[in-house]
């Protein structure tokens, strides 16, 4: 009989990033492309991204935004209109200077983000207060020539959605910024990704180039470091002024609009790996999983394969994303391990022995507490059992991630204590004890203020609110 060998992965060791790369490749998610920092997303990795897109897109539409598409190339002069924006992005732009075999009169940049092009069009499309709010979103690729790339977490080219909206008042713009943060990002990350993110406000140091306020959702990875999962920016009138986004109000007065922008990226695939992965590879929360259940025919004997196919159809009819694995020419152990590396939540193993007993062997990828990894479930009513199991795993994963984060987050009162706590986790420390100078000091030790929150966890209005709490950590 074939003897199993566990994948050699060590997510808790110092070589966490190395483990991360191993999982990406062994689970067939992604690998490095031919140009420094570019990534190749393999089909299963892309399937995960498509699921993220579907879930987020539905939430974005529920907030009233519509999808549109804008150009990949942006005239350099557009970027230069907003001083802080161009200063923030210049170092990492990819610029096209030759096209059609000729030197261009004005270089075009490959979009690092689209505030500027979209601003240009908003100015054309908005005339009246009746045109507001204008709520746009685009799914696109962007390019930022980062100094040090890492697959999914920070690549030269990445995929994302970027939302851009224009509003008649500051209050409306702000409310929408927060609505996106809460109803799209936080809701998706907590309820689908099973990641208990902390929504908060970025400090001036960490703010988006050109924004007046930047909100974020921060998550803790399996090694205690933080990762920014998505951001929502109040842009004030900074872009509206320079692009001429103006409208006539009810009184016939010319007004300047208030804009927002917000984005989330393929980085979330990396977050999934680093936050939920374990020694055996990925663990994908059931609501996200492209394949929730794999029905594995143990061997091609009797009517095993036919029964498996029928079982797969039954699960599909019950609304489960199920897939049949009838590759009986590949050894059992190999297939079992492959599906585990991909993090498929439930595997139903069906062989002659199971059928003789009228059961399937249910193997769970996300084990809660000290429960058994394998259970025999009756074939009659198997779909209901599977649906219940998927729900349990979804909840179990979120509970475990929440418990881990709480355990590794320290409440402290001084800058030094915060720096120490950030060595292997997060710290909550009064913002008054840190301040702008303390923030710079922390940066020397590789520690950053991830976000500011109120004592009760709610969102601050500005960085100058009294009694704010800073969440500090090392970050990817």
Rounded to a whole number of angstroms, the minimum distance from the CB of residue 85 to RNA is: 11
Nearer to RNA, 169 or 307 (CB): 307
Rounded to a whole number of angstroms, the minimum distance from the CB of residue 251 to RNA is 38
Nearest to 124 by CA among 234, 248, 251, 243: 243
299 scored as a contact of RNA (CB under 7 A): yes
Nearer to RNA, 78 or 158 (CB): 158
Indicate the residue among 39 and 123 with the shorter CB distance to RNA.
39
The binder of RNA chosen from 59, 61, 81, 154 (CB under 7 A): 154
How far apart, in whole angstroms, are the C-alpha atoms of residue 65 and residue 344? 32
CB 252, min distance to RNA, A: 39
* Helix 304-317 vs helix 382-407: crossing angle, to nearest 10: 70
Phi, psi of 303 (to 5 degrees): -105, 25
Residue whose CB is less far from RNA, 356 or 466:
356
Which region, judged by CB under 7 A, interacts with RNA, from 153-161, 183-191, 311-319, 387-395?
Answer: 153-161
Show the site string, 79-118: x = touches RNA by CB under 7 A, - = not: ---------x--xx--------------------------
**What is the C-alpha to C-alpha distance for residues 292 and 202, in angstroms, rounded to an integer?**
36
d(CA 110, CA 75): 9
**Minimum CB separation from RNA for residue 141, in Å?**
11
| 123 contacts 243 by C-beta, under 8 angstroms | yes
Beta strand 448-453 with 469-473 is antiparallel
CA distance 448 to 205: 10
- Using CB under 7 A, which residues numbered 25 to 84 contact RNA? 26, 32, 36-37
CA angle 307, 310, 311 (to 5 degrees): 85
Write each residue from 415 to 454 as x if it is in contact with RNA (CB under 7 A), else as -, in one continuous string.
Answer: ----------------------------x--x--------
Nearest distance from C-beta of residue 247 to RNA, angstroms: 29
CB of 163 or CB of 430, closer to RNA? 163
Could you tell me how many residues make up the chain? 476
Site stretch for RNA (CB under 7 A), options 54-62, 327-335, 406-414, 418-426: 327-335
Site string for RNA, 388-417 (x = CB under 7 A): ------------------------------
3-class secondary structure, 24 = helix
Rule CB under 7 A: which of 328-387 touch RNA?
328-329, 331-334, 336-338, 340-341, 347, 349-355, 361, 363, 373-374
Between CA 316 and CA 327 the distance in angstroms is 20
Nearer to RNA among residue 126 and residue 448 (C-beta): 448
Nearer to RNA, 115 or 168 (CB): 115
Question: Between residues 37 and 438, which has the closer beta carbon with respect to RNA?
Answer: 37
- Number of amino acids touching RNA (CB under 7 A): 69
Q: Of the candidates 51, 144, 276, 287, which one interacts with RNA according to CB under 7 A?
A: 144
Specify which residues 254 forms β-bridges with: 248
Strand partners, 152: none
> Considering only 154-162, 385-393, 398-406, 455-463, which stretch makes contact with RNA by CB under 7 A?
154-162
Distances (CA, A) of 50 to 78, 140, 321, 395: 31, 13, 14, 22
Helix residue ranges per DSSP H, 408-434:
415-421
CB of 416 to RNA, least distance (A): 18
CA distance 96 to 172: 38
Q: What residue spans of 160-257 are helical by DSSP H?
A: 170-179, 187-191, 238-243
Binding residues among 245-284 for RNA as defined by CB under 7 A: 263-267, 280
CA distances from 410 to 417, 420, 428 (A): 9, 10, 6
Q: Which of 102/148 has CB closer to RNA?
A: 148
Residue 427, Cβ density class (10 Å: 0-12 exposed, 13-18 middle, ≥19 buried): buried
Tell me the C-alpha distance between 49 and 206, whole Å. 27
Q: Tell me the closest approach of the beta carbon of residue 298 to RNA, in angstroms.
A: 4
**Helix, coil or strand: residue 297:** strand
Tell me the backbone φ, ψ of residue 425, rounded to 5 degrees.
180, -155
Under the rule (CB under 7 A), what is the footprint of RNA?
1-7, 17, 26, 32, 36-37, 88, 91-92, 144, 146-150, 153-156, 158, 160, 206, 208, 216, 228-231, 263-267, 280, 298-299, 328-329, 331-334, 336-338, 340-341, 347, 349-355, 361, 363, 373-374, 443, 446, 475-476
């Amino acid at each position: 009989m074939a003897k199993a060998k566990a994948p050699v992965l060590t997510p808790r060791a110092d070589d966490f990033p190395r483990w991360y790369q191993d999982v990406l490749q062994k689970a067939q998610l992604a690998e490095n492309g031919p140009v420094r920092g570019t990534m190749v997303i393999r089909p299963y990795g892309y399937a995960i991204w498509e699921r993220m897109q579907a879930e987020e897109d539905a939430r974005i539409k529920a907030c009233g935004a519509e999808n549109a598409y804008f150009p990949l190339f942006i005239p350099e002069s557009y970027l230069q209109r907003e001083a802080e924006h161009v200063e923030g992005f210049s170092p990492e732009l990819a610029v096209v200077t030759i096209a059609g075999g000729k030197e261009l009169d004005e270089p075009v940049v490959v979009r690092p983000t689209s505030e500027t092009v979209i601003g240009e069009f908003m100015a054309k499309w908005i005339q009246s207060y009746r045109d507001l709010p204008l709520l746009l979103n685009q799914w696109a690729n962007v390019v930022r020539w980062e100094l040090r790339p890492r697959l999914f977490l920070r690549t030269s080219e990445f995929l994302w959605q970027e939302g851009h909206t224009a509003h008649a008042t500051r209050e409306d713009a702000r409310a929408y910024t927060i609505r996106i943060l809460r109803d799209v990002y936080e809701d998706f990350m907590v309820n689908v990704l099973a990641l208990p993110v902390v929504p908060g406000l970025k400090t001036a140091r960490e703010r988006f180039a050109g924004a007046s306020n930047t909100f974020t959702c921060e998550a803790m990875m399996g090694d205690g470091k933080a990762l920014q999962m998505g951001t929502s920016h109040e842009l004030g009138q900074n872009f509206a002024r320079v692009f001429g986004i103006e409208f006539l109000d009810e009184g016939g007065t010319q007004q300047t609009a208030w804009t927002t922008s917000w984005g989330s990226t393929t980085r979330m695939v990396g977050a999934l790996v680093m936050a939920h992965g374990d020694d055996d590879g990925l663990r994908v929360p059931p609501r996200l999983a492209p394949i929730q259940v794999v029905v594995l025919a143990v061997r091609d004997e009797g009517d095993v394969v036919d029964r498996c196919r029928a079982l797969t159809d039954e699960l599909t009819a019950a609304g489960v994303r199920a897939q049949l694995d009838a590759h009986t020419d590949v050894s059992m152990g190999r297939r079992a391990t492959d599906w585990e590396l991909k993090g498929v939540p439930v595997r139903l193993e069906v062989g002659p022995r199971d059928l003789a007993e009228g059961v399937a062997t249910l193997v769970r990828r996300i084990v809660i507490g000290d429960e058994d990894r394998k259970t025999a479930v009756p074939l009659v009513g198997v779909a209901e059992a599977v649906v219940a199991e998927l729900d349990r795993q979804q909840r179990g994963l979120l509970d475990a991630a929440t418990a881990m984060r709480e355990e590794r987050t320290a409440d402290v009162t001084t800058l030094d204590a915060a720096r120490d706590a950030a060595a292997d986790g997060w710290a909550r420390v009064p913002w008054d004890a840190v301040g702008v100078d303390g923030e710079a000091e922390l940066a020397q030790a590789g520690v950053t203020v991830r976000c500011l929150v109120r004592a009760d966890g709610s969102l601050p209005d500005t960085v100058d609110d009294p009694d704010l709490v800073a969440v500090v950590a090392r970050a990817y």
